[in-house]
Structure 1
Amino acid sequence: MTSVIRGVRWLLGQVCSRRGFRLAMLVATLASLWLSTFKLRLSSDLTDLFPNRDETTMLMRFLRGFGGGDLGVILVRGEDPAAVEAAATALIAALRDKPMVARVLDSAPPPKEFDPTLAWAYSGPTARDRLKQALSPEGMRERLDGTRELLLAPGASEVAERAARDPLRLAMIPWELRMEVAAGVNVGTGADGAFVGDGGRARLVILEPRGSAFQGRDAARFVSEVREAMEAAQRHELPAHAPAVTMDLTGGHAIADATASLLRRDMIVSATLSTVLASLVFLLTFRRMRALFAVLPPLGLGTLWTTGIAAFFPTGLSAIATAFAAVVVGVGVDTGVHVYAKLLEGRRQGLTPAAAARFARETTWRPTLLAALAAGFAFAALLVSDLPAVRQLGVLCGAGEVLTAIGILLVTPEIGAWLERGAPPAPKVHPWTAFASALTRTRRRAIAAIAVTLTPFAFLAAFGWPSAHDTLVAIRPQALAPLATQREIYRIFGSKEGQWLAVTADASPERAAERADRVAERLDRLATAGVIDGFDALTNFAPAPPTQEKRLAERDALALPEKRRALEAALLERGFDASAFSAAFASFEHPSHAISRMDPKGPLAWIVSRHMAREGGETLVVSYVRPTGDPAKDAQALAAIREADPATVVTGYHHLETALRHALGRDLPIVAILALVLVVVTLRAALRRGFDVFLTLGTIAVEVGAVAALMRIFHVRLHVYDALVLPVLIGITMDESMFLLHAARAARAAGSSIGDAIDGALRSEGPLVASTALTTAAGFAALLACRFEGLFDLGAVGALGSALGLLAALIVIPAGLRLARGHASE
């Protein structure tokens, strides 16, 4: 550690004295500006908030292969069903010539015309049971009664033609059961298979986008083109007197575009607000506007350098890592507070501005760099996390802490020397420091103060630590308009959030489809038994050839040729002219064994593209599963899927919550212990006394206990964002403790009594550590302006922890010094 400090000190001297190093700093600044402007991108891929497990890997493969995993869906609503239908028709016409829209439809393709004896090939277990029932004498009579009703209905000419070939309507049985697309949107809820709900007052238009939802430009272009079409449909295609109709877009591209816009907004707003709040605290400390002009430029430099580093992340800046800007600004002001205070002290001692600048740098570089390195190491402890987004946050906050401190040490004294050429201000007396000193002035008071700081631990022992939130990760910002539209679609069409993805991967497309069919067969039974709410699988529309062969073999076991006479008898019994059904008799006597091949460009291409994709040299086939949410049923469903195909991986954002709980249980202790070890090493190098290190660790423990107790009292449930900030507070709180201990030790070395040393440390350093703690709290508090719930929670816990860390330092450090030295007066 000593060699590192010496190296940094040498570097500071070189940068301040040589043009070459100044030129290098200029080049680094310009490069960072270019990288931040043209290369930095925000990632809407939130899988980096999950641990590296099979489920996460498969989710990322699914997202890459399917370009975001969602079709585009437009919800068209209005009070008049006719106006809604007209609006949907106009919208489809406006969308057809859009380059980013590959396919658009507002109804399911009609059932494929095929020999009725092939119905088994397209039927899952439940439908095959119904087909078997339809061939019984009772079943034949029931089906024929339904056919009679259809033939007597208006416009039955087309029905009559189909009935001659299929009087039992066997070909319709696979589609008579409740089928789904998009995991919850019913097929055939309106005339001609239209996606209609709420009595015709809601209608869906489904789009197949081009490009990837994770390519920002693709998502933005798609959303822009769809919005243009919606505006055109409402402005030009619908008459002015038509009833009001609204159109709202959702789906992977829309959500990705809205997420990127929201995160960009949150990063800009939080960084700006952090700067404003930290500046206000800084002004309250020095009461000199010019002090801001000495600190803000290097603070901006450090933040800019850090942002340049963020541009090198190959997957883009993750959602949670966007918090780095606000945190770096809030924490970075700490160094400026101490450096500028020493500059003013030098001027009060009669030093020239240039000499005062050297005095400020020489007296602050060691403690401020040690504090910055300790905080940076605490942040860097996040690198051991299994969550990629957490590692990003650790890298950026750790680098930002050190780079900002270096920037301030390099630049602030030079600017301050130019600004403070006049008479320096008189030192300001802060009365509250006397009150803080009085709290621990006697041994009895010191013991009482320590006892008060331990009460949170007694509370936690009695009532327990904060419990984990039901949802450890806010997967997507709930304020997004596309998500609100998605929730409304779920409400109208009787579905809900939280679908699973059962993904089967195989080098052979046919084998992948066949294995996925086996999974879907089991899902069919689970849905019938109520173990799952529903599912959407490719086998419902395009089963694999081997699956068709097996199903047709099951059909053949029913001996259709032998059912021919029973069909003729049932027709005569129900009053039909048997001679009109020769085609049906022929199909029973000679059942078809034709096997259909999947056509990726046929009328079902939009369904095939939703369920099948190529990724990493393999074919992925996915079934979308809607679990009930009941733990026992969900566990039964997972076991059944694994039994059907052990290599199929069940993934999805909500399913990965379990994996995240395990990861946090592993990560938090490791991160906390590593952060403590790094802090102890840094403190030992800075303070060189074991007792001072112990006292600082006690301060940190009191802070963490107080934060946990308040979270418990106010029912703030622990999730990943809260958990992230707690280890980070270890490094931040150490700053306040170290400066108080450093000042007290210096006073003792000069011959002061322990009481005078503590009083002097509180008078000189108390306002400064209060300012640094509050600027840090301001940096976190700026995140309260974020619309992304995870960043909001991170800000709330971070601001609370910073304030409590200050209180802990102002109480524990003086009380511990007095009790340990035994010099307190009675």
Structure 2
Amino acid sequence: TSCTSCGAATRRKIIVVILITLVSVVGLLRLGFDTDILAMLPQEVPEVHGLKAQRDVLERGGALIITLECGEDGAGLLEEEAQSLAAHLKDTAVAGEARWRPVFEEDPDGLGELLAYLWLNGDQQQWEQLIDGLGQGKSRVRLEQALNRLGTVMDMSSMQLSARDPFGFFDHDSASIFEGSESEDGGYASSDGRMHLIFARPAEPVSGYKDTKRWLRDVREAAEQWRQQEDRQWITVAFTGGPVFTSEVGDGMEKDVRGTVGLTLLLVSLLFWRMQRNLKLLGALAGMLVLIFVVTLGLASLIYGSLSMLSVGFASILIGLAVDYGMVICQEARVSGQTQSALRKSVTKGIVWASITTAAVFAALCFSSLPGVRQLGVLVAMGILAGAVIMLVFYIPIVSRMKIRAINSQGQTENRHGQGFRFPALSPAHAVIILIVALVGSSCVVAVRGLPKITFDFSVMQPSYSPGMDAMESIKERMPSWNSLGIQVVVEADNDTEMLQRLHEAQKRVDVSAQRNEITSGKMPVGLWPDAESQKKNRVKLDTLLTARERLVTEAHDAGFSDEGMSLSLAVLDALKNFSKQQGVVFPRSDAALEILQSYLWRDDQGGGLAKGRIITDVAAKPNEDDLQSLRKLNGEGAYTSGWALLSPAVLPMIHRDVTHIFVPMGAILLIMLVVVFRDIRDVVLVSCCLATPMLMVIAGMRFLELDWDMLNIVAIPLLLGMGMDYGIHMVMALRRHADQPEKVWHGIGKALMFCGASTAIGFGSLAMASNEALAGMGTLCAIGIIITMICSVFVMPGAWRVIHRK
């Protein structure tokens, strides 16, 4: 009957495993990596929302920027080479678009359509002044002014426009928004002629970092093939921009998972083998870890769908934590017996309480303001709970069937040479002294030097090795206009009427801020968005201008302008003629016009969309929280300030909030849990001291090394609290079971916690190899803190416990 019952229980477990695995595999099939850095930040923050909308909609994720750079000998020769490479990329079908000069130079008709739209869509009074100025007798004066202006213009780009626009169509108020938006030579070439840029986009849309990576590989191969032709070794080609950053982040995440997880598994396996010397146990443990990973990742994929660049670190953390329970079971089997009932009696309470408290610590991170930290906390919490359940349900029966060397009646175990291991815990007096000195000493350092500052530097979120970032820095060095960290106001709306209203309101706020000297100036693209009322009023006199076309062309010829010389003006008149035939609201249709407008707005078929205005301010490079509050006065309904420089002052208060609203209450909750678990004030005080000491020592060390907290390494605070409780609960439970047999405490839970501390430290320490600086910093700090916590729990706590429990 007993065998039948065991067989039925085994079959039920197998069925449960199969079902869990199937559900998890379904989830794994849809798991992906989210390489978006902004996705790790709270989307409800106006600056994050505005920047993400601007990047995804207006910048369409960002173009690939190809830089051509040369030495002094090749200065001035790169424009022709850029044209050649752009043609090569399109000829080989690698790129659907490759711009090496301003779009209006390639398609003047598109610029003409845009200018025609600005006039028809603009202020009625200015429109009437234009028509009046081009009237009979006045148009010749305007042509003479155009000729005189040609003789005084020094800027090459302005000279080219003036030469093609004798009637002054470019002198529209709304056209002023384009001024200063691009650097010298249209933002494509450096002033010294030693760098030229190409902006490329794929022929077919790419999604995800893997597709982006493949496209970049094709572009690099095509560029290298072009470079090998005609001996172009004097040109250095580099790549940067949105696609490069996406590829680098995704590739780094993939390498982080393979590298850190692989290293952690190897080192933990070697450590387990060193302590147990049992391949079957090691193999079973590896199987449990695989099952834990499958379950956790499967659930995570069902909940989130994709992992952020911070959450990839959970794998190494989970290995270090989940394997702890396996080691506790193996070590307790040596001192408590190998029967299932004996094992469950000795380890269940400790593992259950330890997993609940540690999972609670990580789960508390789901209340963080930062989505990336929330996801990391939830993943590790789920993994810890899954690990505890799987180890208790499946690993205990496996261990009970294995042959494990037991502790002898004197509480000793023999090594292969027949020598016993002595209990290495400190004497009670020494343990108390060391604990008091460490606690008081670190407290004094923190009291004198204060807590580390909390900072947020967005650069730590980027890969530590980034050729794309190096190329961007080179652009900023050669082309100073790229070095300005601009601030924008992004406006969203569902239709034309709503957008126009919001743009006008935003412009009023900008003007008020400028009057108060909170900003230098600002311009919203009010005249660029279609205005049905203005277009209706301006159509009244449109025929007057169109009927004067032949006269105007004749007068321009007489003044010395050729058809090519007035190509822009002719393109404007042609576009106005086409607009006169259209019904309803007019909006540009040519690719060139839309390409220019794309930098400032995007409009859908229903009239809704996104628009961006530019803000000039002295604090654009490094605004603080006070500057941010002033700039937030520009926000309104559907309007958000935007800019990479604003992320730091916007996110930093949220990190401060997490410390006060999450970590402090968390400490109080953990203290209550200690009271519930131990029901003895002496044990609560002891474990609390052993919790506080490592944390204070880490903080003191940070102050000596002048390190700061950031959005990720501050996770070390709840982590050390959770791990300290985990180790403290296990140790106190073992001391209670074997109060008169310290050797059993050492050979059982003592060695298990040593392994736990080492394995967890390995899990976090492996993150030091991560490509993400924030993740690497968190891993290093947590590894050091866990080692200190383990030493305190294993070597100090037993002696101190005997002191406070003396009768």
TM-score (normalizing by structure 1): 0.76
CA contact (8 A) 2:49 2:640 kept: no
- Is the counterpart of residue 696 in structure 1 residue 679 in structure 2? no
Q: Superposed, which structure 2 residues align to 1:450-469 within 5 Å?
A: 450-469=436-455
CA contact (8 A) 1:340 1:416 kept: yes
Q: Is the 8 A contact 2:77 2:193 kept in 1?
A: no
- Determine if the alignment matches structure 1 residue 201 to structure 2 residue 194: yes
Q: From 289, 299, 305, give the equivalent of 2:295.
A: 305
Q: Does 1:241 align with 2:244?
A: no
Superimposed CA distance per residue, residues 219-263 of structure 1 (whole angstroms, 9 cap, x where no aligned partner): 544553454244334425863323432333322233223211211
User: Are residues 1:78 and 2:70 paired?
Assistant: yes
How far apart, in 2, do the equivalents of 1:433 and 1:453 lie?
Answer: 28
Which one of 100, 105, 109 corresponds to residue 106 of structure 1?
100
In 2 relative to 1, CA 474–315 (structure 1 residues): closer, same or farther, beyond 3 Å? farther
Q: Is the 8 A contact 1:68 1:252 kept in 2?
A: no
1:325 Cα offset (Å):
0.6
Question: What amino acid maps onto 2:301 in structure 1?
Answer: A
- Taking a change above 3 Å as real, the CA distance of residues 635 and 802 of structure 1, as seen in their structure-2 partners, is closer
Identity of aligned residues (%): 18
Match of 1:601 among 561, 565, 590: 590
- Alpha-carbon shift at residue 385 of structure 1 (Å): 1.9
Secondary structure of the equivalent of 1:437? coil
In structure 2, what is the Cα distance between the partners aligned to 1:91 and 1:630? 34
- In structure 1, stretches of 5+ residues that fail to align are 1-12, 125-130, 350-354, 553-576, 585-590
In structure 1, the partner of 2:776 is 792
User: Unaligned 5+ residue runs, structure 2?
Assistant: 124-129, 131-137, 539-556, 566-571, 580-585
Residues 526 and 667 of structure 1: CA distance in aligned 2, closer, same or farther (over 3 Å)? closer
Aligned counterpart for 1:280 among listed residues 270, 276, 282:
270
Q: Take 2:426 and 2:8, find their aligned partners in 1: how far apart are those partners?
A: 39
Q: How far is the alpha carbon of 1:448 from its aligned partner?
A: 5.4
1:813 aligns with 2:789: no
- The equivalent residue for 1:562 is none
CA distance in 2, matches of 1:516, 1:492: 35
Provide, for residues 477-519 of structure 1, a one-character-per-residue CA deviation record: whole Å limited to 9, x for no partner: 2423323222222222212374444211122246536754775
How far, CA to CA, are the matches of 1:241 and 1:527 in structure 2? 54
Equivalences for residues 129-278 of structure 1 within 5 A? 147-148=150-151, 165=167, 171=171, 179-180=179-180, 185-186=182-183, 189-190=184-185, 193=186, 195-197=188-190, 199-208=192-201, 215-216=207-208, 220-222=210-212, 224-236=214-226, 239-278=229-268
Aligned partners of 1:87 and 1:233 also within 8 Å: no
Confirm or deny that 1:390 pairs with 2:379.
no
Deviations 1:548-577 (A, max 9, x none): 899x9xxxxxxxxxxxxxxxxxxxxxxxx9
One-letter amino acid of the counterpart of residue 482, structure 1: G
Deviation at 1:35, TM superposition (A): 3.2
Query: Contact (CA 8 Å) 1:222, 1:253: kept in 2 or not?
Result: yes
Equivalent in the alignment of 2:546: none
Cα deviation code 1:171-225 (max 9, x no counterpart):
49998998455xxx52xx33xx471115222111123557877x31xx5445534
Higher RCO (C-alpha under 8 Å, 6+ residues apart):
2
Q: Which residue of 1 aligns with 2:547?
A: none
Aligned 8 A contact 2:694 2:788 in 1: yes
Q: Distance in 1 between matches of 2:202 and 2:299?
A: 33
Q: Does the alignment pair 1:436 with 2:425?
A: yes
In the other structure, the counterpart of 2:343 is 360
Q: Deviations over 1:395-420 (max 9, x none)?
A: 11111112122222334344445553
In 2, distance between residues paired with 1:333 and 1:580? 86
Secondary structure of the residue aligned to 1:621 is: strand
Pick closer, same or farther for the CA change 1:323–1:145 going to 2, 3 Å. same
The answer to whether structure 1 residue 322 and structure 2 residue 312 are counterparts is yes
Cα offset for 1:741? 1.0
2:82 — aligned with what?
A: 88
Say if 1:265 and 1:198 are closer, same or farther in 2 by CA, change over 3 A.
farther
Contact 1:100 1:221 in 2 (8 A): no
1:390 CA displacement: 2.0
* Aligned residues of 2:212 and 2:246 also touching (Cα < 8 A): no
Aligned pairs (5 A) from 1:370-385: 370-385=353-368
Residues 645/594 of structure 1: CA separation in 2 closer, same or farther (3 Å cut): farther
Instruction: Identify which range, 518-527 or 641-650, moves more after superposition.
Output: 518-527
Aligned residue among 701, 711, 731 for 1:710: 701
Residues 604-619 of structure 1 aligned to structure 2 (within 5 Å): 604-613=593-602, 618-619=608-609
Q: 1:517–1:544: 8 Å Cα contact kept in structure 2?
A: no
The match for 2:472 is 486
Q: Deviations over 1:790-809 (max 9, x none)?
A: 11011012101111212332
**Which residue number corresponds to residue 650 of structure 1?**
641
Q: Does the CA contact (< 8 Å) of 2:300 and 2:379 recur in 1?
A: yes
**Pairs within 5 Å for 1:566-581:** none
Q: Distance in 2 between matches of 1:68 and 1:106?
A: 18
Task: Tell me the secondary structure at the aligned position of residue 196 of structure 1.
Answer: coil
| Alpha-carbon distance, 1:649 to partner | 0.7
Contact 1:534 1:625 in 2 (8 A): yes
Distance 1:221 1:736, change over 3 A: closer
1:91 is paired with a residue whose SS is: helix
CA contact (8 A) 2:621 2:645 kept: no
Equivalenced residue count is: 737
Per-residue CA deviations over 1:298-327 (Å, capped at 9, x if unaligned) read 122112211111211345211211111111
Amino acid at match of 2:285: V
Shift of 1:140: 13
Could you tell me whether the CA contact under 8 Å between 1:473 and 1:719 is conserved in 2? no
Distance in structure 2 (CA, Å) of the matches to 1:288 and 1:143: 91
Aligned partner of 1:28: which letter?
I
SS in 1 for 2:199: strand
Cα shift at 1:285 = 3.3
Q: CA deviation at 1:527?
A: 10
TM-aligned CA distance change 1:146 to 1:32, over 3 Å: same
Give 1:785's aligned amino acid: M
Give the superposition deviation at 1:424: 9.3
d(CA) in 1 for partners of 2:56, 2:280? 52
**Structure 2 partner of 1:721:** 712
Q: Deviations over 1:51-73 (max 9, x none)?
A: 35341444444455457542332
Deviation at residue 394 of structure 1 after TM alignment: 1.7
Distance of aligned partners of 1:16 and 1:318 in 2 relative to their CA distance in 1, 3 Å threshold:
farther
Amino acid at match of 2:67: L
Q: Is the 8 A contact 1:16 1:410 kept in 2?
A: no
Question: Which shows bigger deviation, 781-790 or 337-346?
Answer: 337-346
Q: Does residue 1:402 correspond to 2:385, yes or no?
A: yes
